Structures are given as C-alpha cells and as structure tokens.
Amino acid sequence: MGSEPNPSHCPLCGSLNGCAMASGNVAAACWCMELEIPRDVLARIPETARDRACVCAACASGESARESAASAPAARPLRTVAR
C-alpha cells in the first residue's frame, strides 16, 4: 500500500501546487479556477491522488513535461551489426 498523497504538492512533479483548498481556503480562491487544465494532464494524475492533490501551474500548462523532454538526453540510434 502506498502513502496518501500530500495535498499541497503536485502529484506529477512533486512541486508545491499552490492549492487554495490545501491551505484552508475556499476552492473559488484557487489559481486553477482561472484556467482549463488539459485532459491529457488530468489523465496523468495517479488514481491514488485524484481528488486528493492538485497539479501545479507548470504541470497544468504542460510546461513541466516540456521542460523534462527538453532536458532529457537525446536518444542514441541503435547500431546494427552486420552478419
């Protein structure tokens, strides 16, 4: 069994998510109420964190995934061996 997700951290990248509800405020005060989070981002949230922890602004915009892809080392082509 895994541990409960931290409601103040993004379940995708682990950064602070700035969630108003996790801070004890009403949902209407949260930054996420001002934008529409893409379905592909929501689909990446682990089942255990759904409705328990919000994504951060970077992940909500897809920025975090783009940064990870940009900083990842380039894939090297496979070598073929002549027989």
Q: What is the pLDDT of residues 8-49, one digit of tens each?
A: 999 999 999 999 998 899 988 889 888 899 999 999 999 999
Residue 42 included in any domain: yes
Residue 15 included in any domain: no
Residue 78 included in any domain: no
Is pTM beyond 0.85 here?
no
Residue 41 included in any domain: yes
Report which residue type is found at 59: C
Residue range of the domain that includes 56: 27-70
For the chain, how many structural domains are there in total? 1
Residue 19 included in any domain: no
Residue 55 included in any domain: yes
Whether the pLDDT of residue 7 is over 80: the answer is yes
Whether the pLDDT of residue 78 is over 50: the answer is no
Question: Is residue 78 helix, strand or coil?
Answer: coil
The pLDDT value recorded for residue 82 is 53
Residue 48 included in any domain: yes
Residue 44 included in any domain: yes
Whether the pLDDT of residue 70 is over 80: the answer is no
User: Contact at 8 Å (CB) between 13 and 22?
Assistant: no
Calpha distance 13→65 (Å, rounded): 9
